[in-house]
Amino acid sequence: MSITLDSPLDMHLHLRDGEMLSTVAPLSAKTFSGAIIMPNLVPPISTKEELLSYKARILEATKGHTFKPYMTLFFKPTYTKEFLESLQDELIAIKLYPAGITTNSEGGVAGFDVEELRPTLTAMSELNIPLCVHGETNGFVMDREAEFVSIYEMLATNFPKLKIIMEHITTKESVEALDRFENLYATITLHHLLITLDDVAGGMLQPHLFCKPIAKRPEDREALRKVAFEGHPKVMFGSDSAPHPQHAKESCGCAAGVFTAPIAIQVLTELFVKFSTIEKLQAFLSDNAQKIYSNITIPKKQISLEEKTFLVPNKYSNVVPLYAGETINYSILEIEGD
């Protein structure tokens, strides 16, 4: 028996640039109808010219696939309403990074003075542009996301008309915050539904499972699974698939990121089947995102999967994927509309 998914969406994706973009972008474009593209290049995407140029490079890299890149800007507190209005046809969201907290985020927000942030966030509220946030403090690594919940609460309270997306949540505290504020939403990754910190560092260190935010405790994973498996309307899939060259992962300065793009849909299907919630996967993988991002337009694509083993390649060019060299239980049967 096959399983069919309509217009899958990845609401948090890293495509990098240059040779890496050419390697990884087609792997997402093959199975996803569209994806929200992160802006943390070097330098980060913060002007209209940079955004349009990057979009053109993505479209060139994904040529031949039915795929729409949804573009974002790197948050700055000085964006004006006029500037953002000029980009409304091209911009789906703005991504806020705390300064230095993750890959290429050195130019992020160094403090969360609400008055300093107000000009941009007020303009975003008026133009219905969502704010996507990497929600971590610079505290103890296991506590960083839970500590950031108070900042989410500050933002949600001061800007009640602003849609705020808590990106790649990993803790039960973030899950609990979802229902406390009408304007808080969240993305959840595949790898955080699968692993805990024990998988990363409980035995031999597993560099290809190291990411930020770091995987947490079993009770945190259970909280994520609960809202994903029940089809909670405020959560959606965002892979945070973050490719790095093999040498950057397998080194003493291990880069943070898990590369899941080539197998995300297959492993999500296997996971939802395992927990007898396959009827909720469509909402998690597409329907909820279309409601949260109400102005989004989606290319039509249908993905059919079957219970058939697939051997995950050891590498895609020089990038090692999740489950490299291992067998997963679901395969792509057919793609319509690509």
| CA geometry: angle 192, 194, 198, nearest 5 deg | 85
Active site residues: 240
Give the pLDDT confidence score for residue 256 in this predicted structure: 95
Give the pLDDT confidence score for residue 78 in this predicted structure: 93
Strand-pair partners of 184: 164
Which residue is it, tokens 């899939």?
A: 237
Longest dimension (CA), the chain: 56
Percentage of residues in the chain with pLDDT exceeding 90?
A: 94
Give residue-wise pLDDT tens across range 43-65.
Answer: 999 999 999 999 999 999 999 99
Contact in structure between 276 and 261 (CB atoms under 8 Å)? no
Structural domain spans, the chain: 2-336
Contact in structure between 152 and 117 (CB atoms under 8 Å)? no
Contact in structure between 285 and 269 (CB atoms under 8 Å)? no
Give residue-wise pLDDT tens across range 228-278.
Answer: 999 999 999 999 999 999 999 999 999 999 999 999 999 999 999 999 999
- Please compute the mean of the pLDDT values over residues 125-150 and round it to a whole number: 96
Mean pLDDT of the chain: 96
Question: Which one of 3.20.20.140, 3.40.980.10, 1.10.10.10, 1.10.1040.10 gives the CATH number of domain 2-336?
Answer: 3.20.20.140
Residue 106 has pLDDT above 90, yes or no: no
Give the pLDDT confidence score for residue 295 in this predicted structure: 86
Give residue-wise pLDDT tens across range 270-290.
Answer: 999 999 999 999 999 999 999
Give helix 48-61 / helix 18-31 axis angle, nearest 10°. Answer: 60
| CA geometry: angle 8, 9, 11, nearest 5 deg | 160
Give the pLDDT confidence score for residue 179 in this predicted structure: 94
Which residue is it, tokens 């966030």?
A: 121
Give the pLDDT confidence score for residue 111 in this predicted structure: 80
Residue 153 has pLDDT above 80, yes or no: yes
- Residue type (1 letter), 255: A
Q: Which pair of tokens denotes residue 221?
A: 């994973």
